Chains A and B, each alone.
Chain A
Amino acid sequence: MPIRYNIEGTNKTPAEIRHEAYARGDELSPETRKEYFKSINRLFTMEDQKSKFTRIWAPIIGILMLVACVWIAFIRPNPSQFQSGVFWLFLSFGMALSAVLISGYFEFKYENIIKAGGGFAIWAVMFFYVPKIMTIKQFEPSHLVLDIVSTDTAHIESIPVEFDSNSGEDICSFTAKELGKYWGKSIGPREFVNYRLPDGMIFENIACSDVKVDTVMLVDTSMAEHFANKRMAFLHFLEKFHH
């Protein structure tokens, strides 16, 4: 049974109301009749009267925005705080547009200032209630220090370099390129062993985006070969220069 409306003291279904409206319409001029039917229909129809944009395009755009956010999260695993804010705004718009697909009505009130419903309410919730994970200070190295053991093993030269923590480039290629810039000569990625400080893990086939430290120790490969293994070389130089 459809919803009944209290009209003229009796409970009528939308079909009955429409029927009465059509009967009344016969007494009206064609222009008025058209608007009359439209108005009565608009008040009592239970069909979704959302526009084509709201029904079709809004959720499509919303879902594309959510997919884009996931994709961006993979290509920019270490966003800056500003980038995180932009992603969050983008994500909240995507969620709001996708909310069309969720049935029911959602209302949001914020400190008696803002009252919102539907998709706008979803956006407002996301905008005003940022999860704690977004506010945790993340490690965002934009600089990397290259600690290079000199060929005479007498000292360490520290070179600070600009570092893109989102780059997919191999860290060994990156450090070789940076050293080449400083020393004015071409250096191959295998000429130096790249150690992670402070634990000495050897970087091999590791992308810059996965380097979660701010200092890398570089030891000439030929020099490291004088030790029993590369690990021993690291421990030797760690004790000599970092203790």
Chain B
Amino acid sequence: MELNRLDKYKKKFKEFSANINSLQQYLSGQKRNYAGSSHAISAHDVSEFLNIRELDALFLLSLAEKERLVNRVYKVFTEDDTFLGEFTDNTAIPKKLHNDSTGETVDRDHVIVDLVFELGT
């Protein structure tokens, strides 16, 4: 994983220069701890580690995604936290999802989506 691909953004987005530095350290640590296995990073974890807002963490992770350091995954849950499926693109989430535990169909309007980022290889 070539974390130095993020270096160019330090000059481009000066407000986030220090945060990008920290993100590189965070991703490097995650990569070391979860080498060889797929591990998902949430914007919440990044925001806590970097002590920034979750939206800012999402912005930084989207830069990392642009550089193919992480991949977006939309994890879909019911309102009572039952996992329904995961998608690499939110436009691919179908209008009706099947809940395997109840056998019922859940309308897309009644799901909660967790956006996480999987470490690229």
Q: Tell me whether B94 and A104 are in contact (CB under 8 A).
A: yes
Residue of A nearest to B90 (CB): A46
- The one of A6, A32, A117 in contact with B112, judged by C-beta atoms closer than 8 angstroms, is A6
With A43-B62, A104-B94, A105-B92 known as contacts, the answer to whether A11 contacts B55 (CB < 8 A) is no
- The one of A11, A28, A32, A39 in contact with B62, judged by C-beta atoms closer than 8 angstroms, is A39
Q: Tell me whether B55 and A20 are in contact (CB under 8 A).
A: yes
The interface bits of chain A over 18-57 (1 if a CB of B lies within 8 angstroms of the residue's CB, else 0) are 0011001000110110011001101111111100000000
> Given the complex, which residues of B lie within 8 Å of A49, measured CB to CB?
91
Interface-centre pick from B54, B55, B111, B114 (highest chain A CB count, 10 A): B55
Interface residues of B, dominant DSSP: helix
State whether the Cβ of A114 lies closer than 8 Å to any Cβ in chain B: no
State whether the Cβ of A17 lies closer than 8 Å to any Cβ in chain B: yes
Q: Tell me whether B62 and A42 are in contact (CB under 8 A).
A: yes
CB proximity of A44 to chain B, nearest CB, Å = 7
> Given the complex, which residues of B lie within 8 Å of A1, measured CB to CB?
109-110
Q: Tell me whether B109 and A2 are in contact (CB under 8 A).
A: yes
The distance in angstroms between the C-alpha atoms of A31 and B13, with both chains bound, is 8
Q: How large is the interface on B (under 10, 10 to 19, 20 to 34, 35 or more residues)?
A: 20 to 34
Q: Tell me whether B53 and A40 are in contact (CB under 8 A).
A: no
Interface-centre pick from A1, A2, A7, A40 (highest chain B CB count, 10 A): A7
Chain B residues 41 to 66 lying within 8 A of chain A, measured CB to CB, are 43-44, 53-56, 58-59, 62-63
> Given the complex, which residues of B lie within 8 Å of A40, measured CB to CB?
55, 58-59, 62
State whether the Cβ of B113 lies closer than 8 Å to any Cβ in chain A: yes
Q: How large is the interface on A (under 10, 10 to 19, 20 to 34, 35 or more residues)?
A: 20 to 34
> Given the complex, which residues of B lie within 8 Å of A42, measured CB to CB?
62
The distance in angstroms between the C-alpha atoms of A44 and B74, with both chains bound, is 10
State whether the Cβ of B98 lies closer than 8 Å to any Cβ in chain A: no
Residue of A nearest to B92 (CB): A105
- The one of B56, B88, B111 in contact with A3, judged by C-beta atoms closer than 8 angstroms, is B111
The distance in angstroms between the C-alpha atoms of A40 and B113, with both chains bound, is 15
CB proximity of B71 to chain A, nearest CB, Å = 12
State whether the Cβ of A212 lies closer than 8 Å to any Cβ in chain B: no
The distance in angstroms between the C-alpha atoms of A44 and B91, with both chains bound, is 9
With A24-B55, A31-B12, A42-B62 known as contacts, the answer to whether A105 contacts B87 (CB < 8 A) is yes
Residue of B nearest to A14 (CB): B90
CB proximity of B114 to chain A, nearest CB, Å = 5
State whether the Cβ of A4 lies closer than 8 Å to any Cβ in chain B: yes
Residues of B at the A interface (CB closer than 8 Å) are 12-16, 43-44, 53-56, 58-59, 62-63, 72, 87-94, 108-115
Residues of A at the B interface (CB closer than 8 Å) are 1-9, 11, 17, 20-21, 24, 28-29, 31-32, 35-36, 39-40, 42-49, 104-105, 117
